[in-house]
Amino acid sequence: MGKGEETRQAILEQAIALASEVGVSGLSIGALADKAGMSKSGLFAHFGSKEEMQLAVLRAAQERFAEFAFKPALKERRGLPRLRALMTNWLNWTEKARLPGACPLNSAANEFDDQPGPVRDAVAAGLADGRRMLANAVRLAVEAGDLREDTDVDQFVFELVGIELAAMQSQRLFRDKQAIPRALGAFERLVRDHQPSRKE
């Protein structure tokens, strides 16, 4: 890895942290350059445009999510254990990744949902990826016999997303310490409602 890629990676690390606080659209080149300890134009040269920088930050954040939330959950057995791990990791991956703020993807989803363009597309693609990953885990849980055969996978994922979003709002806006317990409670209720009948 040459010097260029090295500093680019360092920039992106600072960028993810800053974006978690001020959002991807609030991320300015000047502020980021200050934080990274380099000149505005020097940093700018790595991306060529602000939009390209935003896309790079989104990609980098997604990689972090995969590293801290997705990959660790693969160590669990397919089915309910893995789904539960996915959910708990998802709820606290920003802390694990030592981000000072919220998940950049989620913030960006709110900032760009009415701003057509490549950034919006990237955000949508990233979150769709997350939903697909969840859907897969749910499907595996059905196949493993941990959830009922007639489980509506997309509906199940929809409700998982809701739990996650409610937890983030409770935790970040209201500083509610019960956010995670509430989320886990909702998750367990969801699972209970989809438990296969006793007699196999």
Partner DNA sequence: GGCTTTTTAGCACGAACGTTCGTATTCTGT
Partner DNA sequence: ACAGAATACGAACGTTCGTGCTAAAAAGCC
Piece in contact with a copy of itself (CB under 8 A), picked from 50-58, 84-92, 135-143, 167-175: 167-175
Say what the alpha-carbon torsion angle 121, 127, 128, 130 is, to the nearest 10 degrees: 150
- Report how far apart the first and last C-alpha atoms of the chain are (Å, whole number): 55
CA atoms within a 13 Å half-sphere pointing along the CA-CB vector of 110: 10
Closest of 99, 43, 47 to residue 68, by C-alpha? 99
Q: How far is the CB of 63 from a copy of itself (least distance, A)?
A: 20
Query: Which lies closer to a copy of itself via its Cβ, residue 74 or residue 174?
Result: 174
Q: Does residue number 49 form part of the binding site for DNA (CB under 7 A)?
A: yes
Among 20, 24, 44, 69, binds DNA (CB under 7 A): 44
Partner from DNA, a copy of itself, none binding residue 173, C-beta < 5-8 Å depending on class: a copy of itself
Q: Which of 4, 30, 100, 145 binds a copy of itself (CB under 8 A)?
A: 100
Residue 4 or 118: the one with the smaller Cβ distance to DNA is 4
The first and second tokens of residue 23, run together, are: 């959002």
* CB 160, CB 152: distance < 8 Å: no
Minimum distance, C-beta of residue 123 to a copy of itself, in the bound complex (Å): 7
**Of 36, 6, 39, 3, nearest to 19 (Cα)?**
36
Q: Residue 59: how many CB atoms within 10 A of its CB?
A: 13
Return d(Cα 183, Cα 91) in angstroms, integer.
Answer: 9
**Looking at 35, 50, 72, 101, which residue binds a copy of itself (CB under 8 A)?**
101
| C-beta separation of 196 from 148 below 8 A | yes
Residues forming contacts to a copy of itself in the complex (CB under 8 A) are: 20-23, 25-26, 100-102, 106-107, 109-111, 113-115, 123-124, 127-128, 154-155, 158-159, 161-167, 169-170, 172-174, 178, 182-183, 185-186, 189, 193
Residues forming contacts to DNA in the complex (CB under 7 A) are: 2-5, 7, 27-31, 38-46, 48-51
